[in-house]
Amino acid sequence: SQQGEEDPQALSIQEGENATMNCSYKTSINNLQWYRQNSGRGLVHLILIRSNEREKHSGRLRVTLDTSKKSSSLLITASRAADTASYFCATEPGSARQLTFGSGTQLTVLP
């Protein structure tokens, strides 16, 4: 099974609303990253949070990390139609560099 599992699998909201996606993982990590993928395109890095950090902001993005629960959340505030995409969490384990990606959340923002 995958290291990171996102929840929900799909999310549909109205423009202007906030979108929250969750990620759970299983093993210890160096950092956790969030990526976005538009249809037919490659993944694009959004934000990285290290294992000793609890919260991080970047523009309209807010990421939290709870290492005791092995979970993270991505909040997109004031969503826009252009935010429509799949969002993936990825974990870098403590012992190696390779990222393990979750199954993704498909976000649809309706205009």
46: left (phi over 0), alpha (psi -120 to 50) or beta: alpha
Per CB under 8 A, which region of 7-15, 38-46, 51-59, 73-81 contacts other proteins? 38-46
Contact residue for other proteins among 51, 100, 106, 108 (CB under 8 A) = 100
Question: How far apart (Å, rounded) are the C-alpha atoms in residues 92 and 52?
Answer: 13
Q: Judged by CB under 8 A, which of 88, 89, 91, 109 binds other proteins?
A: 88
Angle at 29 between CA 77 and CA 41, to 5 degrees: 50
| Least distance between other proteins and beta carbon 111 (Å) | 26
> How is residue 68 written in tokens?
């005791």
Residue 42-81 contact track with other proteins, rule CB under 8 A, x = bound: xxxx--x---------------------------------
Cα–Cα dist 31/90, whole Å: 9
Instruction: Write out the residues near other proteins by the rule CB under 8 A.
Output: 2, 31, 33, 35, 41-45, 48, 88, 90, 92, 96-104
